[in-house]
Structure 1
Amino acid sequence: MKNTVKKMNMFVIVLLCGIVMIACSNSSDDTSDSSEGNSSDSSDIEVTAVINAQTLDMEEIPYINDITEEAGVNVDWTLVRSGWEEQKNPILSSGDIPDVFISAIADEDIATYESLFLPLNDLIEDHAPNIQRMFDEMPEIKELATSYDGQIYGLPAVIPHRPESISVPMINREWLDNLGLEAPTTLDELYDVLKAFKEDDPNQNGQADEVPFDFNTNIGQWGLLEMIGAFGNYTYSFSDNLLTVKDGEFIFLPKTEDYKQLIEFMNKLYEEELLNQEVITQDWSQFNSRSKDTNAATVGFTFGWSIEQRVGQWKDQYEILTPVAVDNSTTPLWMADPVALKTQVNRAVVSSNTENPEKVIEWLDGFYSEEASAQGYYGSFDIGIEEQDGEYVVLTPPEGVTEDSWKWTNSLVDNGLMYISSELDQKIVPPPSISERLEHDQMLSEYYPEEQNILPKLNFSPEERNELSIIRNDLANLVDIKWAEWLSEGGIEQEWDSYLEELNNMGLERFKEIYQTAYDNYQE
């Protein structure tokens, strides 16, 4: 009996040991799976990127795959090709955001939802040598990326082959030659040329289809304020077209005497049908088709990013027009902002809840290497660009595809992350259209404002930013209503004083005070 009990006890002990060993084995397996899962999770990055409608999926772009593979991460991409502004606030308000946003978040979003985003200062210093090199070599870029509280929430990008101005003035040289005219240099001469363009059939097709002068409905870029420099005092700001600075003083352009005189001149042109009669109501498509999609060149004088972009098939008829002045005694100005034109801010922001911020910043840092940056604007090696004898040569696109379309298909372009240093910019051989645009930029450079008269990007507290937004919205609404009314119907002289009073009642002085303080702080 005792032996039987002993055998049973031994059996129970062996059984229990087996159970324990199995349990231990299972526990060990669970930890391994969990560890592998955590390891996998820690290298998984969720990214939402706002991209151009033409751009390929990220998995189809070789240089992006190379960056991802080198960093040892797996990227789960959500790509937004349209409608982001409508989607953005509900996503941010929910607090459930991806690890990284690319080209999706603005300063205002960071100010409003600051707790959602991770300060990157220490991570950059410890884990992002390429980004740190950019900041060391170009401290002005670091300053642009730094928020009011001294933190860096968004990574900037420095892009290649950028002109200093976003716009060029152009005139139809063939029309001038057909009519025996010289290029105008003053507003009075411009008036005479435009009148001839209207009356004397300069395109020689026997039809009254000429539009002597046309500009974008937007008051700023490619619009009305392109000519504010004719009076020799101001140019509009790239960051906010209604604003500028001169001799240390913040200026609201639609309150200036120059603005008033410019509107009066434009009203004269409009009344005599020397300015496009649909200039106030046309949309972007109409603005472009009128100068491109015609059986003959129909626009005499206009503004655009480049001659080719603006007038398409008729580009060989046009030349750069030296900025016109109010009179022969005035040296005109033309808008420029070299830092803003080559710099994109907030190209990437990181969630404050990301599980492995070090891995995320290391992945993002890969975009800023020389090779990745060279591919980031024009496309991957052997597709958009190639290495030749120590240079990077932009490749010709396939037949029937434009240079612009090819780069937007194969890279993130302006939406991407990159650091094109001055040295690298010289090593990248641009395509012909870009070379021409840079040459045109040089032709205008003597008319660019001095650096101290270019309004920089300024920092504001969330409270100030909110106050500015409310006031600016009211100011801009009034400005938009009145410039369109005065240009088409006249009356600015009679209504000017009441207009200024209304601007002040809307908070213009407070608006200027906040900006002036921020500008003074920037100068310090």
Structure 2
Amino acid sequence: MKKNQGKKAALIALSSVLTATVMAGCSSDSAKEGGTAPQSGTSSSTSEYPRAFSYWVELDGDSAISMKSFSENAAYKEMEKITGTKVDFKHPTGGGTQVLEQFNLMVASRNLTDVIQTNWFNVARGPQNAIDEGTIIRLNDLIDKHAPNFKKYLAEHPEVASMIKTDKGDIYAFPFIRGDNKIKVYYGPVIRKDWLDKLGLEAPTTINEWEKVLVAFRDKDPNGNGKNDEIPFLLEVSTVRNDLLNAMIGAWGILDKFYQKDGKIYYGEMQPEFKDFLTTMQRWYKDGLIDKDFAAVDGKLKDAKTSNNQLGVLYGFSSGTIGKFTDLMKDTVPGFKMAALPHPTLREGDTPAAGMISPTYPGEHSVAITTAAKEPEKIVKWLDYAYGPEGHMLFNFGIKGQSYDIVNGKPAYTDTIKSDPNKLTFKQAQAQYMRSHYGGPFVQDVESFLQQMKYQEQFDSLEIWSKAKNQLQLPLMTLTADESKKLASIMNDINTFSDEMIVKFIMGTEPIDNFPQYVDKLKKFGIEEAIKIQQTAFDRYSKR
């Protein structure tokens, strides 16, 4: 009883602290109703842009290295000069669940900022409910009247117009858009190419070939230190159980969670192919081919194993893995080379069923206008600037003559970004001048992505990883409030259960013969109802 009272008191205290934080963060009414005049521009009564507004958005890690607020970002400083608008950025503290808690408290307390940037698909009961309950506003008419740049973009890209609408046809946010197919593929399997060459091996393409290479990495001392310390493969369950990344599981022709074939929705972890996947992973783990720490690995441990010249194969990024570790290791390990592998298949010559691919509209970094905004039409005009030619350059490349120049007719980052004097990484340097390193309400330019690449292996990775059918993935679908609530309840239980059980299966503490009981448990949690919900939403989406 005392323990429960203590928990309750702690929750009340936390709520009080968060409420105070939110109210302080959202108390920009003085700016909206008078207050201190902005540093430049005209008053809101005569300007087409707002005099000031508040903007709730997470401060990403790359930006946090060099600034405390996006108000210090050069692109937003330039926007203030252009529009005369003073933006009062409100950044939630912490990350992950802490950010979500602060978001939920802000909404529940109705202490709303004027705009909120988040992934509205992850908001409880979805974006349509946020409109219906009066948290955010419907944008269709405002875009039609006050956002000529974005309106033109939607007319030229009707598929995007469909993506950003709810089933009722309501546009709820200004989206982050990947403006080229090359930007959609940036993650996949990576191998130590110098180890392959040293052992006289070809790059594996099938699961059987992978196994032969991993055995050689385990047994033949490719790092040459005379010790049996190589880690053939780092499997991360979180990347297998990820609708975007789809690491490894596509070799069996399924996805881990929800996917579709010919319009019918399936759940991968119920399928016999998933049992085959687990059987293979369990054998690899037992044989020492998978990192023994795989269940507890985090970014720091992954980096340590790679930089310690131990790790043979991992899943990673073209820039954040191949580029990062080539820079880090080329002077300490002679001949160090990382290269992309194709997504594996079961049969030689087959095209992989699935790899990592980001949607044109990934859902994240979308900006909605709340019902607290006093001049939504002027905020729409301000947001629309990013979808025009000048705003496109500003948010993708920053300030001409500082962060980029025009070279041979194309924008090219300067040494300020490529060779930061303070030893910032490429993305950290980008973060000082623009938003293309992370995302926001604009169309991402392909050059802002490609210019992160320094090595041929990085460019090659984009081509290699893109060779997958990628026809199983579901589009981003909006659910009704009731569907969203029910699905979240079911999947919260299933995800907690599956995260634990999949690790047990791979480590061998749960016999593979118990897979039917695992499927039965999924059914008891309600997976069949979850499939029906997804099927209904998919059918609605297909009719748009």
Structure 2 length as normaliser, TM-score? 0.80
Structure 2: how far apart are the matches of 1:44 and 1:166? 37
Contact 1:270 1:276 in 2 (8 A): yes
Higher deviation after alignment, 42-51 or 502-511: 42-51
Deviation at residue 395 of structure 1 after TM alignment: 2.2
Contact 1:118 1:349 in 2 (8 A): yes
Structure 1: how far apart are the matches of 2:490 and 2:206? 36
2:280 alignment counterpart: 265
Residue 172 (str. 1) matches residue 203 (str. 2): no
Contact 1:324 1:332 in 2 (8 A): yes
Structure 2: how far apart are the matches of 1:370 and 1:329? 44
Deviation at residue 148 of structure 1 after TM alignment: 2.8
Contact 1:288 1:310 in 2 (8 A): no
1:300 alignment counterpart: 312
Q: Could you list the runs of 5+ residues in structure 2 that have no partner in the other structure?
A: 1-33, 36-41, 331-335
Structure 2: how far apart are the matches of 1:193 and 1:435? 23
Higher deviation after alignment, 101-110 or 272-281: 101-110
Residue 370 (str. 1) matches residue 389 (str. 2): yes
Deviation at residue 200 of structure 1 after TM alignment: 1.3
Aligned-partner residue type, residue 276 of structure 1: D
- For 1:89-488, list aligned pairs within 5 A: 89-103=104-118, 106-109=121-124, 110-111=127-128, 113-114=130-131, 115-159=134-178, 162-218=182-238, 219-221=240-242, 225-231=246-252, 233-234=253-254, 236=255, 242-292=257-307, 294=308, 297-306=309-318, 307-308=321-322, 311-312=325-326, 313-314=328-329, 316-328=336-348, 330-340=350-360, 343-345=362-364, 347-396=366-415, 397=417, 398-399=420-421, 400-413=423-436, 414-420=438-444, 425=446, 430-433=451-454, 437-450=458-471, 453-488=472-507
Distance 1:500 1:310, change over 3 A: farther
Higher deviation after alignment, 130-139 or 371-380: 371-380
Higher deviation after alignment, 121-130 or 501-510: 501-510
Aligned-partner residue type, residue 475 of structure 2: P
Indicate the structure (1 or 2) with the bigger Cα radius of gyration. Answer: 1
Match of 1:61 among 59, 66, 73: 73
Structure 2: how far apart are the matches of 1:406 and 1:418? 19
Match of 1:71 among 65, 83, 86: 83
Per-residue CA distance 1:196-252 (angstroms, 9 max, x = gap): 211111111112221011132413359995112223x23x4xxxx622212212121
Aligned-partner residue type, residue 308 of structure 1: I
Distance 1:215 1:426, change over 3 A: same
Structure 1 length as normaliser, TM-score? 0.83
Distance 1:365 1:253, change over 3 A: same
Deviation at residue 277 of structure 1 after TM alignment: 0.2
Structure 2: how far apart are the matches of 1:121 and 1:487? 49
Deviation at residue 444 of structure 1 after TM alignment: 3.0
Distance 1:221 1:285, change over 3 A: farther
Structure 2: how far apart are the matches of 1:378 and 1:122? 31
Aligned-partner residue type, residue 429 of structure 2: W
Contact 2:278 2:512 in 1 (8 A): no
Contact 1:141 1:156 in 2 (8 A): no
2:443 match: secondary structure: coil
Structure 2: how far apart are the matches of 1:429 and 1:385? 14
Contact 1:393 1:428 in 2 (8 A): no
Contact 1:117 1:351 in 2 (8 A): yes
1:392 match: secondary structure: strand
Distance 1:386 1:187, change over 3 A: same
1:512 match: secondary structure: helix
Q: Give the root-mean-square deviation of aligned CA atoms.
A: 3.0
Residue 512 (str. 1) matches residue 512 (str. 2): no
Contact 1:222 1:303 in 2 (8 A): no
Distance 1:159 1:521, change over 3 A: closer
Answer 1 or 2: which has greater helix percent: 1
2:359 match: secondary structure: helix
Contact 1:375 1:384 in 2 (8 A): no
Deviation at residue 439 of structure 1 after TM alignment: 3.5
1:339 match: secondary structure: coil
Match of 1:50 among 50, 58, 69: 58
